[in-house]
Chains A and B, each alone.
Chain A
Amino acid sequence: MAFSILVCIKAVPDLASAGALTIAGPWIDETAIGWCMNHYDAYALEAALAIRDTADDVTVDALSAGPDRVRDTIRRAVAMGADTGIHLAVNALGRLAPTTVARSIARFAGTKKYDLILTGAMSEDEMHGITGPMIAAARDLPCAAAAVEIALDVPGRSLTATCEMEGGMTEIVRLPCPALVTVQTGRKVPRYPSLSNTLRSRRQTIEQVVPAETATPTPPVETLNVAFPRQTSSCQIIEGSMIEKADTLLQLFNDNGWLK
């Protein structure tokens, strides 16, 4: 029995290559940075590909919503092994609100009858953690958040998700499919693109879907500004040469009786 999975991925500022973040207007300066696949979404994609590795007749679509620059991230998903790349060309200036993204993806998913939708547990940049559950709410799908393991029962059309909680606890939940699961980082490290998939990703057309414009029924949340965190503690910067700094710390450790 065929089983289709949609993985929703986000292109986020690549902090590893960007060096220092700079602020421009109410958000960061996006002109001076590169973009990469949200870390959590890479784990969601890996979870989907791992399911496809172990079951027959599973297809994996990778989708990203946003302007043209997200197409590179979609291509990366195809290079990692997604069967199809889909660009949801949401025509908006600036940042997209989670509600806007959720609504667009939910509408698109409604036309495709996916058995399972996977998203990252949150995005590295905005850290809302709500886009996945909102897609589920919009499509009235059962949802599990922050899964570190997904076991699929294809004939039974259901899945068991192990969801991470605080203090090292996990909760095990069962959901009937279709369902949406948000994926936490950790257990299965996302695979590197294979050569054959990389070549395929260069040839293969990325399907472009232009969502219908809809008025947003949710009241807006306005970003006033971003700033480097205020210094809230009286943190003392230890100055001097490397040796002097080491000696200062050792003195501190010794005075407190912590040293051997």
Chain B
Amino acid sequence: MIPEKCPGTVLIVGETIDGCLSAGSRDLGKQARCMAGRFDGEPFGVLTGHGIEGVAQSWSNTSGMPVIVLDHAQCRYPNPSITASAVEALVEECSPLAVCFPHNMRACQAAATLAWRIKAPCITAVDSLLVESDKVVLERAVFGGKLSETVATGSRPMVLTIMPRLFSRSDSPDVPDHSPSAQTRLLADTDHRFIPQGMNRRAHTDQALERAQVVVAAGRGLKGPEYASLLDTAAGLFKHAAVGGSRGACDLGWIPHSLQIGETGRTVSPALYLACGISGAPQHLAGMRESQTVVAVNTDPKAAIFNLAHYAVIDDLTVFLPVLRERYDQMRDKGGAV
């Protein structure tokens, strides 16, 4: 079933975590047909894990592509080391146009290892892709999303990590009616040097952020811990609000790490996301992109957050938030509407 030396294959590499399809893999699967279509090729899914035939069949059905399971006991938890070696063998067998991973740090590790070994270009965090006659033109965020870089390569295969939602759902071609197949390949014991011991799932006893109707979040624009109380004051305007922060603000200790919103932190989708002094790094956007209305307060009119925001206030949050509170209090003192 491996598409032997078929010149049009695009490998779509997903993973399972303790028997469940990872969120990034699910998203990449939905983009697979569109992605392969850009290359004028066909998607072929690769899924790592242990004892995951059912998951693979379901991923195959929803993604509309055949799937091969790379099965090993040491792949129960993510194993970029075994993944790189096993995908390298597949690349030799089917000479794909491209190998695509969902973008995250361990996928970058697998992608870099694979690319190094097969001497292929490796481009990570791709958020746009266009195939021209002799080269592929890709865009990716640099400088924390402040700038977007356009790169090109003519070499095939290329190894890519793909940002979520590179193709919007409306772009997606229909999944074919016939049910594609899934098969399993048991991997040999080749590398005992990367030994997953287990996982920790941080149990958020407090789901206030996820349940809040309004999330007030701050980034480095907060300037210092002494201003953190401004967020609580702003949150106090709303009926059901919670406070969070970007990685930058949390790393600086201004906001507790447990309240970090983003790719590696918590994911929120409130009715209103009030982004204060947040520049809009792609990793942060990953955690709040589903918010229904985004209002951003930032001094930099070129901040990437404004690309996602519906309303922009170009101001210093440490000055603006107190004014907002003051006007609210005055309005309520007058007993009513704005």
Q: Which residue of A lies closest to B304 (CB)?
A: A229
Q: A257 CA to B242 CA in the complex, in Å?
A: 16
Interface status of A21 (Cβ within 8 A of chain B): yes
Interface status of B253 (Cβ within 8 A of chain A): yes
Interface residue range, chain B: 35 or more
A256 and B148 form a contact (CB under 8 A): no
Interface status of A165 (Cβ within 8 A of chain B): yes
Query: With A218-B119, A221-B152, A252-B311 known to touch, is A165 a contact of B106 (CB < 8 Å)?
Result: yes
B116 and A185 form a contact (CB under 8 A): no
A220 and B150 form a contact (CB under 8 A): no
Q: Which residue of B lies closest to A127 (CB)?
A: B142
B307 and A230 form a contact (CB under 8 A): yes
A166 and B264 form a contact (CB under 8 A): yes
Interface status of B121 (Cβ within 8 A of chain A): yes
Interface status of A54 (Cβ within 8 A of chain B): no
Query: With A219-B153, A221-B123, A259-B239 known to touch, is A173 a contact of B309 (CB < 8 Å)?
Result: no
Interface status of A217 (Cβ within 8 A of chain B): yes
Interface status of B62 (Cβ within 8 A of chain A): no
Interface residue ranges of B267-292 to A (CB < 8 Å): 267, 271-272, 286
Contact among B78, B272, B286 with A171 in the assembled complex (CB-CB below 8 Å): B78
Binds A, one of B5-13, B44-52, B317-325: B317-325
Q: What does DSSP make chain B's interface, helix, strand, loop or mixed?
A: mixed
Binds A, one of B32-40, B92-100, B172-180, B188-196: B188-196
Contact among B112, B152, B237, B308 with A133 in the assembled complex (CB-CB below 8 Å): B112
A165 and B153 form a contact (CB under 8 A): no
Query: With A169-B201, A242-B319, A259-B239 known to touch, is A129 a contact of B153 (CB < 8 Å)?
Result: no
Interface status of B199 (Cβ within 8 A of chain A): yes
Contact among B105, B144, B301, B327 with A124 in the assembled complex (CB-CB below 8 Å): B144
Q: A165 CA to B23 CA in the complex, in Å?
A: 11
A224 and B152 form a contact (CB under 8 A): yes
CB distance from B150 to the nearest CB of A (A): 4
Cβ of B120: which chain A residues have Cβ within 8 Å of it?
Answer: 218-219
CB distance from B283 to the nearest CB of A (A): 9
A166 and B24 form a contact (CB under 8 A): yes
Query: With A227-B148, A245-B320, A256-B293 known to touch, is A251 a contact of B141 (CB < 8 Å)?
Result: no
Q: A111 CA to B295 CA in the complex, in Å?
A: 54
Q: Which residue of A lies closest to B108 (CB)?
A: A129
B80 and A145 form a contact (CB under 8 A): yes
Q: What does the 1/0 interface line of A164-177 toward B look like (CB < 8 Å)?
A: 11111111111110
B193 and A175 form a contact (CB under 8 A): yes
Interface status of A130 (Cβ within 8 A of chain B): yes
Cβ of A162: which chain B residues have Cβ within 8 Å of it?
Answer: 200
CB distance from A19 to the nearest CB of B (A): 10
Cβ of A182: which chain B residues have Cβ within 8 Å of it?
Answer: 105, 109
A174 and B106 form a contact (CB under 8 A): no
CB distance from B82 to the nearest CB of A (A): 11
Interface status of A15 (Cβ within 8 A of chain B): yes
Contact among A129, A160, A232 with B124 in the assembled complex (CB-CB below 8 Å): A129
B81 and A243 form a contact (CB under 8 A): no
CB distance from B83 to the nearest CB of A (A): 12
Interface residue ranges of B116-167 to A (CB < 8 Å): 116-117, 119-125, 137, 140-155
CB distance from B281 to the nearest CB of A (A): 9
Interface status of A57 (Cβ within 8 A of chain B): no
Interface residue ranges of A202-258 to B (CB < 8 Å): 217-238, 242-243, 245-247, 249-254, 256-258
Q: What does the 1/0 interface line of A119-148 toward B look like (CB < 8 Å)?
A: 001101111111111101110001111100
Cβ of B22: which chain A residues have Cβ within 8 Å of it?
Answer: 166
Cβ of B54: which chain A residues have Cβ within 8 Å of it?
Answer: none
CB distance from A12 to the nearest CB of B (A): 9
CB distance from A46 to the nearest CB of B (A): 12
Cβ of A250: which chain B residues have Cβ within 8 Å of it?
Answer: 324, 327-328, 331, 338
Query: With A130-B122, A252-B311 known to touch, is A226 a contact of B263 (CB < 8 Å)?
Result: no
CB distance from B282 to the nearest CB of A (A): 8
Q: A159 CA to B263 CA in the complex, in Å?
A: 26
A102 and B116 form a contact (CB under 8 A): yes
Top-8 shortest CB links A-B: A219-B155, A130-B112, A142-B193, A133-B112, A146-B105, A137-B116, A129-B108, A145-B109
Binding site for A on B (CB under 8 A): 17, 22-24, 77-78, 80-81, 104-106, 108-109, 111-113, 115-117, 119-125, 137, 140-155, 191, 193-202, 204, 213-214, 236-239, 247, 250-251, 253, 257, 263-267, 271-272, 286, 293, 295-296, 300-302, 304, 306-315, 319-320, 323-324, 326-328, 331, 337-338
Given contacts A133-B80, A175-B195, A217-B119, 19 further A-B contacts (CB under 8 A): A127-B142, A130-B112, A133-B108, A142-B194, A143-B80, A144-B194, A165-B78, A166-B104, A167-B23, A168-B202, A218-B120, A219-B121, A236-B310, A236-B311, A237-B301, A250-B324, A254-B337, A256-B271, A258-B272
23 A-B pairs with C-beta separation under 8 A: A127-B125, A130-B111, A133-B108, A133-B109, A134-B116, A137-B112, A137-B116, A143-B109, A166-B263, A171-B78, A175-B195, A182-B109, A217-B119, A218-B116, A220-B153, A226-B148, A229-B141, A230-B307, A233-B307, A236-B310, A246-B320, A249-B324, A258-B239
